[in-house]
């Protein structure tokens, strides 16, 4: 696997692959890789001839009180994982390379509607940062397919809308959430948890599964969601939201059959998110 830091080197390398008729896949990451990221790369390997992973801790998507400085940078360990997953190229640019005019002077991409509420409500400007950096990466790599984890469901919806609205010729593939044996969704932020908090953390997924069962039995959604919030609080979380949305993140109506149940909650220093699919009207 080659690691590239320069934008010109990346473009020149990928131009050669493109001229040879190779199909290119992109897996954007912020590094500190775990088995969920590896699953994205392995899935990309099955869909493309050339797999490119990007590693960039994007300052634009962090709020002023969030953990940008504390976010783990583990380049060497990440290179080992990507090499073992049969990744071809790692693109690891600096912030100065991607944002040469600084954040204040940077053109931004905003995706309306789907960015609002949920994590977008709790983290103002977060999805503008995500949409901007993903658009930059799409422009630089020009992939045929890009892969994102379904754990970040709202992010995946934002990227799908961005791609459709800008008529980008890129297939967006969501990959199922990878979980630990106890059900906890794999996340780089799980590393912030103490031993006791890590033992508590699977309660987030367990609460969602219990709520899903109640919704699929036909219990009223407001009651189920309130009960889930109470359960998370009793388990030691500081809940941010538990919400039921359509699969497209619109409101649930009496005609909605495929829905998504999403939650975010703080546990110690970590803000954990998760979601499960729900089939309504059985």
Cβ burial of 207 (10 Å; 0-12, 13-18, 19+) is buried
Neighbours of 43 (CB within 10 A): 18
How far does CA 188 lie from the centroid of its chain?
Answer: 11
For the chain, the first-to-last Cα distance in angstroms comes to: 49
Rounded to whole angstroms, how far apart are CA atoms 14 and 6? 13
Of 17, 34, 37, 126, the active-site residue reads: 37
Query: Nearest to residue 142, comparing CAs of 5, 44, 10?
Result: 10
34 is catalytic: no
Instruction: Assess contact for 133 and 60: CB atoms under 8 A.
Output: yes
Copy the structure tokens of residue 93: 């640019």
Query: Nearest to residue 130, comparing CAs of 149, 156, 105?
Result: 156
Query: What residues are labeled active site?
Result: 37
């Amino acid at each position: 696997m080659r690691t590239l830091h320069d934008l010109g080197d990346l473009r020149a390398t990928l131009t050669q692959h493109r001229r040879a008729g190779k199909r290119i896949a992109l897996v954007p990451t912020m590094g500190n890789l775990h088995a969920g990221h590896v699953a994205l790369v392995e899935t990309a390997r099955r869909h493309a001839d050339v797999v490119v992973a990007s590693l960039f801790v994007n300052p634009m998507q962090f709020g002023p009180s969030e953990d940008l400085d504390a976010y783990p940078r583990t380049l060497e360990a990440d290179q080992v994982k990507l090499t073992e997953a049969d990744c071809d190229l790692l693109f690891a640019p600096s912030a100065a390379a991607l944002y040469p005019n600084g954040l204040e002077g940077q053109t931004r991409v905003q995706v309306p509607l789907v960015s609002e509420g949920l994590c977008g409500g709790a983290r103002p400007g977060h999805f503008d940062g995500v949409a901007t950096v993903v658009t930059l990466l799409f422009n630089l790599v020009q992939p045929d397919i890009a892969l994102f984890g379904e754990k970040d469901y709202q992010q995946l919806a934002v990227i799908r809308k961005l791609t459709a609205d800008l008529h980008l010729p890129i297939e967006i593939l969501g990959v199922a959430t990878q979980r630990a044996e106890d059900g906890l969704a794999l996340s780089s932020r799980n590393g912030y948890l103490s031993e006791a908090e890590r033992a508590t953390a699977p309660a987030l997924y367990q609460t969602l599964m219990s709520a899903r069962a109640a919704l699929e039995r036909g219990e009223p959604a407001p009651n189920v969601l309130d009960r889930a919030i109470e359960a998370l609080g009793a388990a030691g979380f500081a809940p941010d939201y538990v919400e039921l949305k359509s699969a497209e993140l619109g409101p649930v109506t009496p005609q909605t059959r495929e829905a998504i149940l999403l939650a975010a909650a703080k546990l110690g220093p970590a803000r954990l998110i998760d979601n499960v699919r729900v089939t309504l009207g059985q």
